[in-house]
Amino acid sequence: MSNKLNVAIYPGSFDPLTNGHLDLISRSSILFDKVIVAVSKKSINKNYLFNENERLNLIKKNIQHLDNVSAQVFEGLLINYAKSINANIIIRGLRALSDFESEFQMSLMNRKLNDNINTVFLMPHEKYTYISSSIVKEVFSLKGNVDEYVPKSVLEAMKNKHE
């Protein structure tokens, strides 16, 4: 048996953090020695509700109870970030079959860039399989109820953004 720590990163925009994200973070904390939630900086392809520091702070509020989980902001190529923090695992969530194709392509590219870093796919609890940050933002913007999809602190922050 190896003494090497399994350091996993769970990357994403987390805009906003959902209960599905928290489900994967919680289960990852059981599977790996250390988990780093890696919050991506702004992307030209995304329209953000929260800036990276707001997203980071909301995550930190909701992972305090998990001793082996931390959160950081990163920018640039994920595989370079993973290498810089000595992570050997990338966690990716799969909600539905439609997620698989793009995640599979990213996983293969990451392996080509650095085959010492493996991708592990986790499925969220079935009650979260249809939830995404995009859907939560859209439903919320149209005055729909998203209480059961995001932590209370995130819901409060969303309400403050729309005041």
Which residue segments constitute the domains of the chain, with CATH numbers given?
Answer: 7-161 (3.40.50.620)
From the candidates 13, 28, 132, 133, which is the catalytic residue? 133
The separation between CA 45 and the C-alpha centre of its own chain, rounded to angstroms, equals 17
Say if residue 143's pLDDT is above 90.
yes
From the candidates 21, 55, 92, 137, which is the catalytic residue? 21
162 is catalytic: no
Q: What is the DSSP string of 69-122?
A: EEEEEE-S-HHHHHHHTT--EEEEE--SHHHHHHHHHHHHHHHHH-TTSEEEEE
From the candidates 60, 61, 83, 95, which is the catalytic residue? 95
21 is catalytic: yes
What pLDDT, on the 0 to 100 scale, is given for residue 115? 87
pLDDT in tens, 35-88: 999 999 876 667 889 999 999 999 999 999 999 999 999 999 999 999 999 999
From the candidates 42, 43, 46, 159, which is the catalytic residue? 46
92 is catalytic: no
Residues 37-70: b if buried by 16+ CB within 10 A, e if exposed: bbbbeeeeeeebbbebebbbebbeebbeebebbe
Say if residue 2's pLDDT is above 80.
no
pLDDT in tens, 13-42: 999 999 999 999 999 999 999 999 999 987
95 is catalytic: yes
